[in-house]
Amino acid sequence: MSWFLFILLSVMAIGGGLGVVATRNVVHACLFLLFSLLAVAGLYVVLLTEFLALVQIFIYGGAIIIVLLFAIMLTRSKEYPSISDNSQWPLALVSGLALFSLLTATFVVNSSSFEEMHRVALTDLGTTLFTDWALPFEIASLVLLLALIGSIVIAKVERRR
């Protein structure tokens, strides 16, 4: 059962990814991204970490995709709706394949037999997050604040006085 789910979700994720990088239509690309992200969320469920799957759906699916769509809307140029790839795509292909083979080789070689998935209790996760990892947590919130302020500053429209 988990095999079947795993294969299905993997195919969806990778297919969605391929769609993002192959399609000519930007909006389609965005939707493909959403698709892929949701598939990844499903994979998280297979991995018995439902909480993170939820987080994934909320943040990525809820926030980031929306923002991306807004950006696409606001930056419409005459090249819409079809955007081709740029001039170095063969090189990109080669490097992508190279990296994939490298990583796969690593993972295959290093695979000891990890077979057991164990479930994580949410309360334990929360406790660790706010005690052992309190400092990175605070810093992460700072990062978000900075990003907020920064994006406002950068994207602000200057009024002529």
Partner 1 sequence: MVTLMHFQIVSAALFSVGLYGVLARRSAVLILMSIELMLNAVNLNLIAIASFTDPERFAGFIIAIFVITVGAAEVGLALAIVLRMFRNRATVNIDEIELMKW
Partner 2 sequence: MIGMEYAWLIPVLSFVAFPLILLLGKFLPGKGSSISIGAIGAGFILFLFVMVDRLSNGATEQAFFKIDWFTVGSVELTWGFIIDPLSVSILGLVTFVALMVQIYSLSYMKDDPRFNWYFGIQAFFAGSMLTLVLADNFLLLYIAWELVGLCSYLLIGFWYERKPAVEAAKKAFITTRLADVALLVGILLLYKQVGSFSMSETFEQAELLMAGANSALSSGTTLIAALLLFVGAMGKSAQVPLHVWLPDAMEGPTPVSALIHAATMVAAGIFLVARTFVIFEAAPDSLLIVAIVGLLTTLMAASMALVMTDLKQILAYSTISHLGLMMLSLGSFGYTAAIFHLMTHGFSKALLFLAAGSVMHGIGRTDIRQMGGLIKVMPLTALAFGIGAVSLGGIPIFAGFWSKDEILLSVLDHRHPIFMILVLVAVFMSALYMARAFFVAFMGEISDENRKGHEAPVFMAIPMILLAILAVTSGLLALEWTDSFRGIGSFIFAHEGHGFEFNLMLGLGSTILATSAFIIAWLIYVKGSISISPFKRTFAPIISIAERKYYLDSAYQGFIDRVVLVFSSLVAKFDRVFVNDFAVNGVAESVKRSAFTLRHHVTGLIYNYAFVMVVGAIVLVAAWWAIAVKG
Residue 126 binds which one of partner 2, partner 1, none, with CB within 5 to 8 A depending on kind? none
Residue 35 binds which one of partner 2, partner 1, none, with CB within 5 to 8 A depending on kind? none
Q: Return the DSSP state at 156.
A: P
| 107 is a site residue for partner 1 (CB under 8 A) | yes
Radius of gyration of the chain (CA): 20
Residue 143 binds which one of partner 1, partner 2, none, with CB within 5 to 8 A depending on kind? partner 1
Q: Which is nearer to partner 2, 103 or 142 (CB)?
A: 103
Closest CA to 44 of 115, 119, 111, 112: 119
Query: In the range 99-128, which residues lie near partner 2 by CB under 8 A?
Result: 99, 102, 105-106, 109-110
- Residue count (the chain): 161
Neighbours of 44 (CB within 10 A): 19
Cα–Cα distance between 9 and 3 in angstroms, integer? Answer: 10
Q: Return the DSSP state at 62.
A: I
Query: In the range 47-86, which residues lie near partner 1 by CB under 8 A?
Result: 47-49, 52, 55-56, 59-60, 63-64, 67-68, 70-72, 74-75, 77, 79, 83-86
